[in-house]
C-alpha cells in the first residue's frame, strides 16, 4: 500500500496525508529492520558490518579501537535515538541487538581490556575515597 502510492485525487486534495504515510512507512521500516537483525541472516549481515567497523570504534583509549554495535536506548518509536546515529531512531536496532549477537556468537565478544585507567597525580595513585567524593561534586569535608 505504501509502495504503491500513486497520486490520486484524494491525496492531491490533502498533501499532509502523504507526509503521514511517509512517516508511518519510516516507522514501519525501522520496526521491521529491528526484527530482521535478530534473525540468523540479519545477525550474520550485522556481524560482517561489525567486523568491518561500519558502526565505528570505541573512542576510549583502553578499549584499543574495539568495534562498536548499534543499540536503541528505548523500544518505543521516536523516544530515544541510537547514541552514535543521532538521526536514526533507536527502535531501528532495538534495545537487545548487541546482547543477541554476542549470545549467538560468544566467540566475537570483546575481550576485557588488559590495561585499566588509574588516576594519578604527581606520580601518586589517587585514593578511592577522593575519587568517590569528586563524583558528587560537593566540597570536600575536612578529614580528621
Residues lying near Zn ion in the complex (CB under 5 A) = 58, 60, 63
Quick check: helix, strand or coil at residue 141? coil
CA distance 7 to 105: 47
Q: Which is nearer to Zn ion, 29 or 62 (CB)?
A: 62
Q: Is 75 exposed, middle or buried (0-12, 13-18, 19+ CB in 10 A)?
A: middle
For residue 59, the minimal CB distance to Zn ion (Å) is: 8
Q: How far is the CB of 124 from Zn ion (least distance, A)?
A: 27
Distant-in-sequence, close-in-space partners of 96: CB < 8 Å, separation ≥ 6: 38
**Beta carbon nearer to Zn ion, 75 or 113:** 113
Give the nearest distance from C-beta 21 to Zn ion in angstroms: 40
Q: Which is nearer to Zn ion, 73 or 130 (CB)?
A: 73
Between residues 30 and 68, which has the closer beta carbon with respect to Zn ion?
Answer: 68
Closest CA to 73 of 59, 57, 87, 89: 89
Could you tell me the smallest distance in angstroms from the CB atom of residue 140 to Zn ion?
30
Amino acid at each position: 500500500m505504501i509502495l504503491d502510492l500513486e497520486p490520486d485525487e484524494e491525496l492531491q486534495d490533502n498533501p499532509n496525508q502523504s507526509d503521514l504515510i511517509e512517516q508511518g512507512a519510516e516507522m514501519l521500516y525501522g520496526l521491521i529492520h529491528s526484527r530482521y537483525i535478530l534473525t540468523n541472516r540479519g545477525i550474520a549481515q550485522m556481524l560482517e558490518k561489525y567486523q568491518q567497523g561500519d558502526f565505528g570504534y570505541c573512542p576510549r583509549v583502553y578499549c584499543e579501537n574495539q568495534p562498536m554495535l548499534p543499540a536503541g536506548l528505548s523500544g518505543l518509536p521516536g523516544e530515544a535515538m541510537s547514541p552514535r546515529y543521532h538521526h536514526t531512531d533507536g527502535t531501528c536496532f532495538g534495545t537487545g541487538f548487541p546482547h543477541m549477537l554476542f549470545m549467538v556468537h560468544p566467540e566475537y565478544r570483546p575481550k576485557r581490556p588488559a590495561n585499566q585507567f588509574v588516576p594519578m597525580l604527581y606520580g601518586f595513585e589517587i585514593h578511592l575515597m577522593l575519587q568517590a567524593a569528586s563524583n558528587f561534586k560537593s566540597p570536600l569535608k575536612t578529614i580528621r
